[in-house]
Structure 1
Amino acid sequence: MTDDGPDPFTNMFEAPAKLARTLFAPLAEATAGTPLSTEDMRHWTEVGAKLQGMWLQYQTEQLADPQTLAPWFDPTRWMQLAQDWYRQMPLADPAQQQALVQDGVALWQQVMNQYTLGPDGQPGAKDEAELPRRDRRFADPRWRAHPAYALIHQTYLFLAERVAEMVDRMEGLSDDKREQLRFTTRTVTEAASPANFPLLNPVVMERTLETRGENLVKGMEHLLADLRRGQLSHTDASAFTLGVNIAVTPGKVVHETPLYQLIQYSPSTEEVMETPLVIFPPWINRFYILDLNPKKSFVKWAVAQGVTVFMVSWKSADATMRDVVWDDYVRAQIDAIDHIRARLDVPSVHAIGYCVAGTTLAATLALLHRRGDQDKVKSATFFTAQIDFEKAGDLLNFVDDGQLGMVKALSADGYLDGRYMAATFNLLRGTDLIWNYVVNNYLLGEDYPAFDLLHWNGDVTNLPAKWHEQYLRDLYRDNRLVEADALSVDNTPIDLGLVETPTYVQAGKEDHIAPAESVWKIRDHFKGPIKFVLAGSGHIAGVVNPPDANKYQYWLNDGEVHTLAQFREGAVEHPGSWWPDWIEWLRAQDGARVSATGKRKPGGKGDRTIEDAPGRYVATR
C-alpha cells in the first residue's frame, strides 16, 4: 500500500479489534468510540452468563456421572499430540526460522499490495485482488474483504505449507515414520486453522453481531449435546427412522445367529437369476449404506435386475461377544452361504464383500478352496476391499504398538465402542468431517441438515475387542494375510494363492480408507480371472452411485496390465455408474433363470420367517 495516510498496519487490525471489543468486552467503547447502551451491555452480559451457565451445568453433570470419554474428545490428548509433534519438527533451527521470517515478510508485502486506503483511511481490496494461496475453507469473500483477515489466513496457509515441506525434507526418518509424521502434521495444522476460532473468523464475527450472540448460544447447545453423546454430529438424526425412510426395501429376516441376521429381499420381477446373491457388508458400519433410500439403494436396484438378494446384518458387539475373533466372521460367512444354498436348493451363490467384509470374504474363499468346497461360491465381488495392506494408506498410522495398546485399554468390557472408530475415520478427513462441522454448527450455530448418508456415517457399531486387535495387528500392521499359510482360520491354514473364483473388483479413485493402489493388489494374489473397475469418488460415493443419478464415472482397461499406473494409462472412461457393467458381468457368470416363486418370495405360504426387514440387529447400539 503506497497511499499516504495513517499507518496501514494500525488500520489493518483496527476492524477485527473493534469487533472483538464489541463481542467479548461489552463494557468497552463501541466501534465508533461511543459507549454501548445500557440495553446492549445488559444483552451481552446475559449472553456471556448464559454460555458460562451452560458450560458449568455440563461440568456439574460430568462430576455427578463421570464418563470415560474417547481420547479423541479429550483436549489434553490434543495438547499432548501438538507437543509431541512440535518436538519432532526442526522449528528451532535458526536457518529455518530465518527463512520463514524472510518468506513471511515477502508474503505480507504481496498481500498488502492487493489493498489500498479509502477516503476514510480504512483499507479495502482492489477491484481484482489476487491472493497468493487459495483454500476452500477461506472461499467466503469476507476473508479477502479486509487485509487483516487476508493476512491471517494467508499466513496460516503459508506456514502449513512450509511445515509440510519440512516433513518431506527431514533426514533419518523411515518411510512409515515419515508418513505418520505427515499425518500428524496435517491433523495439527487442520486444527490450527483460523477458521476454527471465532475471533479470527470474519464470517463467525459477522454472524455473532447480526444475531447478537444467539449463534454462540445455539452452537454451545450443539457442542454440549455432542459431548454428552460422546460423538460429533453431522446430521439431524431425528429425521430418519429405520424401515420408514431408510432401509425400506421389502424383505424378511430368514435366519439368525448370535452374530448376524440374514435378510432375504422380496423379488420385484417374475423371473430371477437361479444363483442368488449374498452381500457381506462391513460390521464396522450398518448394512443399510446399500439401502439408504429407494433412489440410492443398491439392494433395490439389484432386486429390480432379477437378482435374489440376501443381506447379512451384523450384530453390534456387546460384552457377550468378548471372545469373538476373525474366525467367527469367516465361519459366519460360510454359515450364511450354506443356509442360502439349503433354503433355495441351489449349489452355489454369488457373494459380495464390502471393505473389511471383503477382506474376510477373501479368507473365506481361501478356506473353501483349501477344503475343496470352492464351488459353493460361483463368483465374488469386492467393494473397496483390501487383502494386501502394504499400501493401506493413512489407517496404517493407527497400528503401532502404542495405538494397539490404547485400543486394548479402551476395550475393557470386551468390545470397542463404535464412537472411537467413528472419530478415527473422521480424522482421516478432518477438514470435511470435523472442522467443517465445528465451524458451521458450533460457531455459526447452524441447524443440522437431514442427510441420509451422514446419518448412516454417524450410526456407529461396536466392535469385538479381540477381533479388532487381531485385525489391526495381523493384517494392517504385519500384513500376514498375503503370506501363504501364515494365518489359520478355523484351524485351517489359508493361502490366497489357491483362489480361482471369478472375481469383480471395484476400487474408488479418491478412496482414503482403502486406497485404489491397495485394492488393486488383490490381482497379485488370486489365481482366477479378475475384472478390475476404477470408480470415480471414494469409499462410499464410489460404491453407492445409482445409474439414475448420472454422477461420476468409471474406468475399464481390457489390456494386459500389471500395475494400477498401467491400468490408468490405457483405461477407457465411461460416464455414470459402474453398476450396469457389474450386472452384465454377473449374468455372464450364470445366465440360468427361474420363476420367483416358493421360497424365492420370503414369508410366503408355508415359509416361516423371523421378522420384517431391516430386522432388530441393525437397530441395536
Structure 2
Amino acid sequence: MNTLPQVSANPLAAQAAAPATGGRNALDLYLQSLAARVTGGISPIAMQLAFQDWWQHLAVAPGKRAELASAWWRMLAIPVPQADAGADSRFADSAWRAWPFAAYAQGFKQLEQFWSQATSGVPGVAPHHADVVAFTARQLLDMLSPSNYPWTNPEVMRAAQASGGRSLIDGALNWRKDLCRRLALPGAVVAEPVGASYTPGKEVAVTPGQVVYRNALIELILYAPQGEKVYREPVLLVPSWIMKYYILDLSPHNSLVRYLVQQGHTVLMISWCNPGAEARDMGMEDYLQRGLFAALDQVHALCGGAPVHGVGYCLGGTLLSIGAAAMDSGEHPAHGKLATLTLLAAQTDFSDPGELGLFIDDSELAFLDALMWDQGYLNGDQMSASFQLLHARDLVWSRMMREYLLGERSAPNDLMAWNADSTRLPFRMHSEYLHGLFLHNDLAEGRYLVAGKPVALSDIHTPLFVLGTERDHVSPWRSVYKIHLLCGAPFDFVLASGGHNAGVVSEPGHANRSYRIRPAHRSPNGYSSPDEWLGQSESIEGSWWPHWQQWLLRHSDRQRAAPPVVAPEQVLGRAPGSFVVQR
C-alpha cells in the first residue's frame, strides 16, 4: 500500500519549499498562524476593511443618513404590525403575543429592519464588503434576540414554571456536558456526543460489500449485487472528502447505495482517508490522480471495460467534472469510459458561491492558510463552525435555546450522526481548492490545470444529470445551474426540495419531499436563466431518486450481465472498510 507523504517534524523547515504558500515567508506564516488560532481563521483585517469601507461611504452620504434617521424615528414612534414578528419562527409561540413579550419581539424586529436598511444601499461600498457588513450585523442581532434569554422568553418561563425549575437545571447540565466534552483532553472519558449511537458498519453504512482496492488516499468498496444479473454499466459514487462517504449509505431505509443495488445496478463507492498532518502536501492533483482516476481504473478492470455512470456529490462532483473534462478532451489518459455524469449539489462555477463567499477573499485566505500551515490540515470542528455561522439562527441560537434553556435534547438520528463525524482536510489541497476554485474561479475560466495542462468543461461530451437543492447554503442551486453556461453536453437539470444534505438524501416514501423538472415541451432551444427555468418547471411530489434511476436506464444497455467477480486475494476487507472509522 502506498504511504502518505512524510514531512519534517519542524513545520518551519518543512514549509520552506512548499509551493502551496505561494512563496510566503515562514516567519510571517508563523505569526499569522498565532493570530488565526485566536480568531478561528477569520481575518480581522478583512473585517476592518469591510466596516471601514461601509462607514466611510456612509459618512459622505447625507441623503442615506437622513433616510436612516427618519427610519429610526419611525421605529420609535410607529409599532411594526404584529404579523411581522409572528412570521419569525423564533416568535411563533402564542405566548409571544402577550405583553410584555410582544413588545420585546416587535422591538427586536424593528431593530433588524433598521440595520438591514443601514447596511444595504450605501453608494460606493464594494459588494463583497457590503455583504460582510450585513452578514455580521445579522449575526450580532441574532445573538441579542429576546428568544435567547430566559427572562425575556415566555416559552422558557412557562417550561420552568411547569417543571418546578427542572427544565433550567437540565439545561445547565446539558451545557456542562457540552463544555466538558469540548475542553476534554485527548483520551479522556466524557459523555457520549449526539449521534454516538450510530456507528459505521453497525447502524449506518451497513449495505453489504467488500473493499477491493486501497491506496494511501482511498478505499474502493464494491457492494454485493442483489440477483444473478445486473446492468452492465457500473455506478461509481464519488462523495466529498469534506465529510465521510456514508451520507450516501445511511440507514437501510434511506441509503442511496442500497436503493441502486436493489434496482439492479453494480455500485462502487470511494471512501476517502481522514488525513493528518503527515498528508499536508497532498494537493488537488493527488485527489484527482490517486483518488478519482485510480478508482476509475479499478472499476474499468473489475467490470470488463464497461462504461461507468460517474456520480459526484458536492466537492466530489466538482472533482468528477474536472476528471470528465480531462478525459473527454483527449489530452489525458482515458481511465476507461464514462457512460454518464451525475453531479449532486456540485458547483463548477464559483463566481456566486452564496454566503460561503463571505469567507473567501485574499485576506481571509491568508489567515486560513496560516492556520492550516501551522496544523498541517483544517480540522472538522473549524470547518463545521463556518457552516454553522451561515445559519446561526437555526444551528446555534435555536439549538442553544432548546437545549440550554428548555433542557431538551434533540433525539439523535443518522443524518445528525454523519454531520458530527467530521474529517480533516490537508493543508495543500484545501488551500489550492479555495484559491484556485473559490477565489479565482479557475475551472470555469479555463485556467485549471490537470497534469500541467488546462482543462475546459466545454470538452465534456458525456450526458449530464445535474441536481440542485432549493435551500442549499453550501452549493446554492443557482450557482450549480451555471454549468449550463460552461458545458454543451446534453443534460437534465432537477431541483429537489430540502437543503444540501437532506435534499440529496430523499428516499422514496419520505414525507414532504418533492422535486422540480422542466417538461420537454417547455424547453426552449436557447439558454434560459435560472429564474426562467424555475418559472417553466413543474413540481412533482416524492423523491427524485426514481426519476434519476430511469434517466440512468435510458443511458444503459438493457441487456443484463453477470455481476463482476472478485478474486479472493483482491478482497481487502468487508464494507464499510477501515478509512471510514479513522479519527
Instruction: Tell me which interval the TM-score lies in, with the shorter structure as reference length.
Output: 0.7 to 0.9
Amino acid at match of 1:159: L
SS of the residue 1:261 aligns to? strand
Instruction: State how 1:283-432 maps to structure 2 within 5 Å.
Output: 283-331=241-289, 332-369=291-328, 370-371=331-332, 373=334, 376-411=337-372, 412-432=374-394
Amino acid at match of 1:580: P
2:146 match: 194
C-alpha distance in structure 2 between counterparts of 1:438 and 1:478, whole Å: 37
1:6 match: none
Matched, 1:444 2:406: yes
C-alpha distance in structure 1 between counterparts of 2:376 and 2:568, whole Å: 40
C-alpha distance in structure 1 between counterparts of 2:486 and 2:49, whole Å: 42
Matched length = 528
Matched, 1:574 2:540: yes
2:448 match: 487
User: With structure 2 as the length reference, what TM-score do the two structures score?
Assistant: 0.84
SS of the residue 1:431 aligns to? helix
Instruction: State how 1:243-282 maps to structure 2 within 5 Å.
Output: 243-282=201-240
C-alpha distance in structure 2 between counterparts of 1:597 and 1:508, whole Å: 33
The counterpart of 2:487, out of the listed 516, 519, 526, is 526
Task: Give the drift of 1:375.
Answer: 5.6
SS of the residue 1:410 aligns to? helix
C-alpha distance in structure 2 between counterparts of 1:68 and 1:456, whole Å: 31
**Deviation digits for residues 552-576 of structure 1 (CA, Å, limit 9, x no counterpart):** 2222223125122221222132221
SS of the residue 2:404 aligns to? helix
**Deviation digits for residues 406-462 of structure 1 (CA, Å, limit 9, x no counterpart):** 212322131111111111111121111111111111222212312211221121111
The answer to whether the Cα contact below 8 Å between 1:234 and 1:454 also exists between their aligned partners in 2 is no
Greater radius of gyration (CA): 1
Amino acid at match of 1:236: V
The answer to whether the Cα contact below 8 Å between 1:556 and 1:573 also exists between their aligned partners in 2 is yes
The answer to whether the Cα contact below 8 Å between 1:71 and 1:77 also exists between their aligned partners in 2 is no
The gaps in structure 1 that reach 5 residues or longer are: 1-66, 112-128
Task: Give the drift of 1:164.
Answer: 0.9
SS of the residue 2:540 aligns to? strand
The answer to whether the Cα contact below 8 Å between 1:133 and 1:157 also exists between their aligned partners in 2 is no
Deviates more, 1:273-282 or 1:98-107: 98-107
Structure 1 residues 132 and 308: CA distance shift in structure 2, 3 A: closer
**Deviation digits for residues 453-477 of structure 1 (CA, Å, limit 9, x no counterpart):** 1221121111111111111111111
2:575 match: 613
Matched, 1:135 2:98: no
1:106 match: 77
Task: Give the drift of 1:343.
Answer: 1.9
Matched, 1:156 2:133: no
The answer to whether the Cα contact below 8 Å between 1:85 and 1:184 also exists between their aligned partners in 2 is no
SS of the residue 2:211 aligns to? strand
Task: Give the drift of 1:266.
Answer: 0.7
The answer to whether the Cα contact below 8 Å between 2:150 and 2:157 also exists between their aligned partners in 1 is yes
Matched, 1:176 2:128: yes
The root-mean-square deviation of aligned C-alpha atoms, in Å, is 3.0
C-alpha distance in structure 2 between counterparts of 1:421 and 1:613, whole Å: 27
User: With structure 1 as the length reference, what TM-score do the two structures score?
Assistant: 0.79
Structure 1 residues 526 and 198: CA distance shift in structure 2, 3 A: same
C-alpha distance in structure 2 between counterparts of 1:234 and 1:438, whole Å: 18
Instruction: State how 1:542-581 maps to structure 2 within 5 Å.
Output: 542-557=503-518, 558=520, 559-560=523-524, 561-562=526-527, 563-581=529-547
Structure 1 residues 82 and 142: CA distance shift in structure 2, 3 A: farther
2:5 match: none
Structure 1 residues 94 and 272: CA distance shift in structure 2, 3 A: closer
Structure 1 residues 297 and 181: CA distance shift in structure 2, 3 A: same
The answer to whether the Cα contact below 8 Å between 2:86 and 2:92 also exists between their aligned partners in 1 is no
C-alpha distance in structure 2 between counterparts of 1:478 and 1:185, whole Å: 27
**Deviation digits for residues 356-409 of structure 1 (CA, Å, limit 9, x no counterpart):** 111111111122123262862111100011111112111111111222122123
Task: Give the drift of 1:598.
Answer: 5.2
**Deviation digits for residues 313-344 of structure 1 (CA, Å, limit 9, x no counterpart):** 11112012111111111111011000111122
The answer to whether the Cα contact below 8 Å between 1:286 and 1:456 also exists between their aligned partners in 2 is yes
Task: Give the drift of 1:607.
Answer: 5.5
Structure 1 residues 582 and 71: CA distance shift in structure 2, 3 A: farther
The answer to whether the Cα contact below 8 Å between 1:419 and 1:460 also exists between their aligned partners in 2 is yes
Task: Give the drift of 1:174.
Answer: 2.1
The answer to whether the Cα contact below 8 Å between 1:367 and 1:489 also exists between their aligned partners in 2 is yes
Amino acid at match of 2:535: E
Deviates more, 1:452-461 or 1:374-383: 374-383
1:56 match: none
Structure 1 residues 234 and 168: CA distance shift in structure 2, 3 A: farther
SS of the residue 1:538 aligns to? coil
SS of the residue 1:480 aligns to? coil
Amino acid at match of 1:430: A
Deviates more, 1:559-568 or 1:432-441: 559-568
**Deviation digits for residues 261-312 of structure 1 (CA, Å, limit 9, x no counterpart):** 1111111133111111110000111111111111111110010111100011
Instruction: State how 1:9-24 maps to structure 2 within 5 Å.
Output: none
C-alpha distance in structure 1 between counterparts of 2:237 and 2:325, whole Å: 18
Task: Give the drift of 1:130.
Answer: 6.0
The answer to whether the Cα contact below 8 Å between 1:503 and 1:531 also exists between their aligned partners in 2 is yes
1:457 match: 419
SS of the residue 1:585 aligns to? helix
C-alpha distance in structure 1 between counterparts of 2:560 and 2:208, whole Å: 20
Structure 1 residues 174 and 88: CA distance shift in structure 2, 3 A: closer
